[in-house]
Structure 1
Amino acid sequence: MTRTRTTPPSAAGTTAGAVRTAALPVAALLLALCVPAPAAARPADPALPLPARMADTGGGGQLITARARTPRDTTGTVAWWERRNGRWRRAGWAPARFGAGGLTEGRTRVQGTSTTPTGLYDLPFAFGLAPAPPGTTVPYRRVGADSWWCEDNASASYNRWVAPLPADCAAAESERLADYPTQYDQALVTGFNYHRPVHGRGAGIFLHVQGKGATAGCVSVPAGAMARILSWVRPSRHPHLAIGTAHGPTALTRY
């Protein structure tokens, strides 16, 4: 608390004090008129590359974006970007497919809804039945007959690659990777619900090769594009995958 010392004013002092008090609001008003108001927040320039308009890109020099027009759409575009000398440039793009249930906010997604989770994710490793494309530097695991992705909510191995299938992970609740030779010819694991899995939120969300239609929640691209992405990704550049829509609460620019 601040204390103010009070001195009994003279008559002249009282008059002068009154004048100063009366003049104070006028001076404050003039000062306010002279000081410009803070600039209102402006939307990002639509001419800027998509990563430059995003709230976060993961802090690295590589970014993959997967964007649908609306949350109801099951198709869209995947693009991959590089940052050089502080500027983002697109290195490639491809048509994409999303979950049969469309897209939904990743933090509240529910397993079994066939929705693709929106958000920003790292890329822990890659896998495939086929050999890694030439130039691949991301860790790459070959799929074998006993390679599974555990999606059993009751298992301690929930949302993990396992080989062989552990006793506490039901086969009916999981994916035997070799059973999907087209989709898992080559794939990248996303960090969705991976590092601290929340049971019931979802498991096995990948960027993989396209099959015949929409996915069960993954993002898929043509085989040629998948091979180019795997050859392009560099772990040293801390790549991330951002999934979202063009507008609204799940807009890609919000992540």
Structure 2
Amino acid sequence: MSTRTPRRLAAGSVLLAAGLLLTACGQSAGGGDRTASPTTSDVRAQSGQSGRSAPRPQSEPAPEPRGIPGLGPKTRAQIPGSARQAIVVTGEGRDEGTGSAQRYRREGEDWVPVGEAWPAHNAVKGWTDRHVQGDLRSPVGVFGLTDAGGHERDPGTELPYDTGPAFVARGTNVEGEPLGDAFDYVVAINYNRKPGTTPLDWTRPLGMGRGGGIWFHVDHGAPTQGCVTLPKPRMRELLTWLDEQSEPVVVMGDAASLAR
């Protein structure tokens, strides 16, 4: 059954400070018993300086926030401002079933990579902007990650986690190989599903014809029917990294689509 655990909010902040450069003039005294020290105006006259103060140096402009590499303005605009975690799945081609997954966390206005990129599989026919049931393509877009589960017990995720025998993978992959432990760990991708429910929930807000059941799950050595897969150790790592309070998202698609 579902387990929901108190969450913690982890967020970083950046403090920028600008320093004020102070300049000073020194004076030198003249020699002799009855010679007065030169006045400030005498020093300016001798040095050819006017009475106006020297201009103050201008402050350096603040650096631009570091964004997620490879994302164009259309894709960036889909990432909620409240999201503090993102995993970017980049397909190798529009019609390819392989790619990579890279995690990022937001620190202030910057997106900072977390760890190394992981190998990933997506649907056998690649990617689509309009996924429909049975097209053997993964949907392109930015989707929330709110719910997890699996046949194995909770590895320590901050997301609500459902477990039980319903997560046993009894089918085969697109190449006919048994799925085996594919559903030992899953994270539901919020494409055409009701957030806040078990990954097994069959609610389809866009209708059954638009597909559903798009998950992260354990890789089984081949492309999928629509899901994204990671090696089993990486799935455990993903689950223990995701934080519900950080409102994590997945940004997924082929490289050309994400660059729009």
**Interval of TM-score (by shorter of Structure 1 and Structure 2):** 0.5 to 0.7
CA 1:102–1:218 in structure 2 vs 1: closer, same or farther (change >3 Å)? same
DSSP 3-state at the match of 1:133: coil
Q: CA deviation at 1:48?
A: 4.9
Which of 130, 133, 136 is equivalent to 1:114?
A: 136
CA 1:237–1:48 in structure 2 vs 1: closer, same or farther (change >3 Å)? closer
Specify every segment of 5 or more residues in structure 1 that has no aligned partner in the other structure, as ranges: 1-44, 150-171, 173-178
Q: Is the 8 A contact 1:64 1:79 kept in 2?
A: yes
Q: Which residue of 1 aligns with 2:159?
A: 138
More helix by share: 1
Q: CA deviation at 1:243?
A: 0.8
Which of 102, 124, 133 is equivalent to 2:146?
A: 124
Q: CA deviation at 1:246?
A: 1.2
Q: Is the 8 A contact 1:52 1:88 kept in 2?
A: no
Query: Map of 1:37-186 to 2, 5 A cutoff?
Result: 48-50=67-69, 54-59=76-81, 60-92=83-115, 93-105=117-129, 108-134=130-156, 136-144=157-165, 146=166, 180-186=179-185
DSSP 3-state at the match of 2:210: coil
Specify every segment of 5 or more residues in structure 2 that has no aligned partner in the other structure, as ranges: 1-63, 172-177, 195-204
Distance 1:78 1:230 in 2: 14
DSSP 3-state at the match of 1:50: coil
Q: Give the letter for the 1:141 counterpart.
A: D
Q: Give the letter for the 1:76 counterpart.
A: G
Q: Is the 8 A contact 2:168 2:183 kept in 1?
A: no
Q: Is the 8 A contact 1:109 1:201 kept in 2?
A: yes
Tell me the alpha carbon deviations over residues 106-128 of structure 1, each in whole angstroms, 9 at most, x when there is no partner: xx222111111111111131011
Q: Is the 8 A contact 1:78 1:95 kept in 2?
A: yes
Tell me the alpha carbon deviations over residues 159-202 of structure 1, each in whole angstroms, 9 at most, x when there is no partner: xxxxxxxxxxxxx9xxxxxx844110101001101132322111
Distance 2:168 2:220 in 1: 19
Q: CA deviation at 1:55?
A: 2.8
Tell me the alpha carbon deviations over residues 117-169 of structure 1, each in whole angstroms, 9 at most, x when there is no partner: 111111131011111223x110000132x4699xxxxxxxxxxxxxxxxxxxx
DSSP 3-state at the match of 1:79: strand
Identity of aligned residues (%): 27
Q: CA deviation at 1:85?
A: 2.1
Q: Give the letter for the 2:111 counterpart.
A: W
TM-score (norm 1): 0.63
Structure 1 segments (4+ residues) deviating >2 Å: 47-56, 146-149
Q: Is the 8 A contact 1:74 1:97 kept in 2?
A: yes
Q: Is the 8 A contact 1:65 1:80 kept in 2?
A: yes
